[in-house]
Amino acid sequence: MIRRRKSFSILKVLVIAFLSLLVVTQVYPLIWLFIYSLKTNEEILSGRFFALPQVLQWKNFSSAVEAGHYFQYLKNSLFVTSVTMVCVILLSSLASFAITRFKWKYGQAVMLIFLIGMMVPMQATLLPLMIIFKNLHALNTHLSIILPYIAFQTPIAVFILSGFMKSIPAEIEESAVVDGAGVFRIFGSIILPISIPPMMTVCILTFINIWNEYILAATFISSERLKTLPFGVNSFVSQYSVNYGAIGAFLVLGALPVIIIYFLLADKITKGMVAGAVKG
């Protein structure tokens, strides 16, 4: 009995130590970035990374908003991310419904295509996409980044939603068919409401991935009025100087929406990821 208590206490200490280490490694960079954003260039370049600022430089945040065109880039990011999320949810839910709930011989082949899509690196598509959008005269438009975003986010969304939809009992649909419900009514009135938890997970993952994306946006967008939030950092880099404090402030403001949304919907992420783990 004493050995069991000792082993339990040691295990508990190890778990607490591991979780504490995880919290420190995940939370500390955010705290460090906030402290970084309140320093002057001299304090940042002095090499004292862990030192607190002597005087809080709140003007870095005003510079981030004004010189960094924060609200203009924020509006563009919200538009691009919102359109992408809506399209991804619509397409992935329909595809997942067809793959998992219909009995057709090509269902597994289509699912395999989506899984292969998860393996394609974004960088490998830059040149062909550049040629395609140039021929379509779609370069330097939000459409040129929204379409690739949808294409790259849909496979993982289908993977998550199909795993959940497989766990939905077939008896629910059979009862609806007996009552005279068609395919679209079953999808809209039964499958969609049940699938809200994994859909929330898809929305949050899509939001985080698109919000911070830079490579595609830098390749296909050149107009200042169309650029998204990650471009704001370039506003503080000139040929002869760099405003490091303002860059830190802009990064804090850019990460703030993601942090807020994540903490508000963190429980839904967990529920959505494990929703299809146990089949009913």
- 24-49 residue pLDDT tens: 787 888 888 899 899 988 888 887 77
Instruction: Report d(CA 20, CA 18) in Å as an integer.
Output: 5
Instruction: Using the Cα atoms of residue 102, residue 108, residue 113 and residue 114 in order, give the sign of their dihedral.
Output: positive
- Highest mean pLDDT range out of 78-87, 199-208, 249-258? 78-87
Q: What is the pLDDT of residue 269?
A: 63
pLDDT for 7 equals 54
Q: Choose among 115, 120, 151, 119: nearest CA to 133.
A: 151
What's the CATH fold of domain 69-238?
Answer: MetI-like fold (1.10.3720)
pLDDT band at 130 (very low <50, low <70, confident <90, very high): very high
Number of other CB atoms surrounding residue 74 within 10 Å: 17
pLDDT at 92: 93
pLDDT per position as a tens digit, 256-271: 888 888 777 766 666 6
Predicted pLDDT at 103 = 77
Between 199 and 240, the more confident residue is 199
Q: Is the pLDDT of residue 279 over 50?
A: no
CA distances from 175 to 88, 94, 169, 186 (A): 29, 21, 11, 10
Q: Please tell me the predicted confidence (pLDDT) of residue 231.
A: 87
Average pLDDT, the chain: 84
Task: Decide if pLDDT at 75 tops 60.
Answer: yes
Write out the residue limits of the CATH 1.10.3720.10 domain(s) in the chain. Answer: 69-238
